[in-house]
Amino acid sequence: MQPDPRTARTLARSTSARLGQRLILGLSLIFLTLLWAASGGAEEIIEADGYSTFGEFKYGPDFEHLDYVNPDAPKGGEISVWAQGTFDTFNPYSSKGRAGALSTIGYESLLVGTADEVSAEYCLLCESLEYPESEDWVIFHMRKDARFSDGTPVTAHDVVFSHFLLLEQGLPSYASAVKALIPEAEALDDYTVKFTFAPDVPRKNLINQAGGVPVWSKDWYERTGTRLDESSLEISPGSGPYVLDSYDINRRIVYKRNPDYWGKDLPINVGRHNFDTIRVEYFADSQAAMEAFKAGEYTFRQETSSLSWATAYDFPAVDKGWVKLEELDDGTLPGATGFVFNLRREKFQDIRVREALALMFNFTWTNASLQYGLFEQRDSFWQGSQLEAKGVPEGDELALLESVGDLIDPAILTEPAVMAHTSGDRQMDRTNLRRASGLLEEAGWIVGDDGVRRKDGETLSVEFLSVSPTFDRIIMPYIENLKQLGVDAIYNRVDPSQYTNRERAFDWDMIFDGYTVGLEEGLGLDQRFGKGGIGDVFNPAGYSSEAVDKLIEVAVDAETYDEMATAVRAIDRIMRAERFMVPVWYLGKYWVAYYDMFEHPELMPPYSLGHLDFWWFNAEKAAELKAVGALR
């Protein structure tokens, strides 16, 4: 897809998002049940080696390896990638500082997902779990051979400590949400941990949430006095396959594979974590990174710019076959990205203003003139999936919408789902300009003698905040169109640190941003689209709707996938009608360029590129590239 200014936030926020996604994604698993023979009315106790919201799973308890890996992949070599901006901490769980790329790579959780299932998770640090039918609690039985990188055992005490550390010192949005759901955690013994869930809260995803907590060393934190809410270059030992090897602030980070990694022979890890080292090179922007890639300073590049993909890969290393270009299928949901309105601003409270400003973005011209026709236009928050609202609502979806009919625009009940507006093949679509002008006049924003719109003496000004210079060519034509509409529009590109600070403080009018969505939804809907996320970075627009809040409850309480999907389609329909984001484009492929010494399975999984996970290094090809001077 097009360059995303959020790259400059580094992976600090993506790590936070992963924690948030534990509230978002339902997870499947492998069921073995037994009847608990106790007094009358006793609950059935379910024992398993994973968990599934709706009971679907792919891998049985005796699987040898994941279907999409090469179980005989050689270990060795280095893969190097790039990151934009700067870093000053390796603690991605704090809102302070900018965390180094891949700074969560060393940490594991009780449960882990796969790349070929929508939501399945299986035991990693645990070997089994048990819970009652009511799902009022869950007990994890941990693997006794799990070790931190310093050789100390991973115990139930570490799990409990990590859970409460996140609640006490983690990101406030995460802590407040999870504290209300999972108030109790206790170590029953050194290798058995129990989570008890709050009464009268939805049970969906709570086992996933408990099983998704990153596990840190209690001893290390207590010994060092380090806080999770402070930035720090000192990090606790993790139990994962990689450890921090070295770093040069704002220039480079190197992670190395732990040769003593305790879990390397687990079936879920066979054929994975193949590189000896993963190196991250830092650059100020994508153009500088591109030049470094041409020179062989790093070896793998996932391209996000249509301009670069269409025009920049004609350098000698490609012509000579040293660099390989591939378009690989991406089965994940397209990012729900676009130009986001900050609804915390009074001027954007009027939907007519939002619709008018949206009409000035011309996808057709942008895609054809600036993006080489490589993209499709996005309409839905869940584009191309069973969760996407289509046509006129019918059946169960219509019934759900009618249940909140007094809280929504009546047209939602009878009209087709709102689609992204269409535009002509010229930068300024005159028809849309007239429509937008009429909407603003209805809203009271009148053009003055100077060509600028005002209401009650206030100028209709809009600042676009950005961080990526490669995004200039996309935003500037939009700015020009808005000025013709009479909007005092400006484009302000700032450095990554300033962007992060302003984004976190919601000090912006419009940004290019997006929402995390999944093929299976649950509690996280509230954090992203409900009243629980108004002050959350996972809900950049600050969107909230009483109708959506009610339908989120329906989605969370759903007992089948179809019930959940019906509720999400209704939510999608309402939110699209609210027009709090200008939808842009999507691409169902990964564009990758890499020096021809890496290999991947012929059968790629649908939900991950996996270049740092299940790709591997071909030493013979690497030697040939070095012999001809292709690499530095």
Residue 329 pLDDT class (50, 70, 90 cuts)? very high
- Tell me: do 347 and 206 sit in the same domain: no
200 shares its domain with 349: no
For 180-230, how does the pLDDT look when each residue is reduced to its tens digit (9 = 90+)? 999 999 999 999 999 999 998 888 889 999 999 999 999 999 999 999 988
Please give the share of the chain, as a percent, with pLDDT higher than 70: 93
Q: What SS3 state is found at 497?
A: helix
Residue 410, domain member (yes or no)? yes
DSSP state of 89: B
Rounded to the nearest integer, the mean pLDDT of the chain is 90
**Quick one: pLDDT at residue 38?**
39
Judgement on whether residues 21 and 164 belong to the same structural domain of the protein: yes
Q: Domain with 465 in it: what CATH number? A: 3.10.105.10
Residue 535: the pLDDT is 67
CA distance 167 to 287: 40
- Asked whether residue 362 falls in the same domain as residue 496, the answer is yes
pLDDT-based confidence at residue 533 (cuts at 50, 70, 90) = low
Domain membership flag for residue 54: yes
pLDDT reading at 322 higher than 50: yes
Predicted local distance difference test score (pLDDT) of residue 37: 37
**pTM assigned to the model:** 0.79
Whether 231 is in a domain gets the answer no
Domain around 415: 342-513+535-543+578-586
Answer with the one of 194, 224, 254 that is the final residue of a domain. 224
Tell me, yes or no, whether 472 lies in a domain.
yes
Question: Which is more confidently placed, 352 or 523?
Answer: 352
289 in any annotated domain: no
Domain boundary among the residues 191, 224, 257 is at 224
Residues 32 and 175 in one domain: yes
Q: How far apart are CA 511 and CA 475, in angstroms?
A: 10
Q: Please compute Rg for the chain using Cα positions.
A: 25
Complete DSSP assignment for 510-567: EEEEEE---SS--THHHHHHSGGGTTSTTSTT----HHHHHHHHHHHH-SSHHHHHHH
How many angstroms separate the CA atoms of 454 and 397, rounded?
A: 41
Whether the predicted pLDDT of 33 surpasses 70: no
Cα(416)–Cα(572) distance, rounded to whole angstroms? Answer: 12
Which amino acid would we find at residue 189? D
Total count of domains within the chain? 2
Return d(Cα 302, Cα 81) in angstroms, integer.
9
Query: What is the C-alpha to C-alpha distance for residues 543 and 336, in angstroms, rounded to an integer?
Result: 14
